[in-house]
Amino acid sequence: MGILKPDYRFNSILEISVPFLKEKGIEGLLLDVDNTLAHHFSQTPIEGLEKWLKEIAAAGIKTLILSNARSSRVEPFAEKIGVAYTPKAMKPLPFRAWSSCREMGVKSKNTAIIGDQLFTDMLCGSLSGTTKILVTPMHEETGRLFKIKRGLERKILK
C-alpha cells in the first residue's frame, strides 16, 4: 500500500514551514480544500491560513487548489483567499494534477500535494509524481462512506 502512504505527515497545513518546503525542493503546492484549508463545505478559511499563504507566496512557492468539488464550492473560497483553482479534479487520477503543475509553471517532481485523504490526495500524489503531504482531518465526516474510508485509512497508516 506504499502508493497510499504519505511522504510526510503534519497535524495542520499551518505546521508546514517555508524552510521545510525549500529543503525538499518544493516550488509549487496543490492544495485540497475540505478538511485541509477549511472545515468540510465551509467558505471560511481556517484561522492563520491567509498569513501562511502570504509566507508561502513571499518565498516564491506557487499555490493552486486542486479539489474534486464543483466550481460552485471551490470558486468562492479560492477567490476569498486569492488562490487559483482546479475544480472537479477527479483525484486520484493524475491528469488535473499534471495540468495544474503546468499552469503554475512547475514540474511535478518539484510540487507537493497537501490533503487529508489517502485514497484521493495521496494516491493522486503517487500517480502524478508529486511529494505527498498528509494533514490530519479537522473533523470526522458523518457520512457512511467517509466512516468506511477513514477506518481503512487508519489501518493503512498503522
- Is 1 within a domain? no
The pTM assigned to this predicted structure is 0.90
Which pLDDT score, from 0 to 100, does residue 53 have? 98
Number of domains in the chain: 1
pLDDT band at 140 (very low <50, low <70, confident <90, very high): low
Q: Over 80: is that where the pLDDT of 31 sits?
A: yes
- Is 3 within a domain? no
- Is 2 within a domain? no
**Separation of alpha carbons 67 and 134, rounded Å:** 15
Q: Tell me which residue of 77, 81, 11 sits closest to 53, measured CA to CA.
A: 81
* Residue 132's CATH number: 3.40.50.1000
Parent domain of 34 = 8-157
Q: Over 80: is that where the pLDDT of 157 sits?
A: no
Please report how many Cα atoms fall inside a 13 Å half-sphere around the Cα of residue 5, on the Cβ side. 7
**Separation of alpha carbons 136 and 150, rounded Å:** 11
Per-residue pLDDT of 122-139, as tens digits, reads 999 999 999 999 999 876
Per-residue pLDDT of 60-114, as tens digits, reads 999 999 999 999 999 999 999 999 999 999 999 999 999 999 999 999 999 999 9
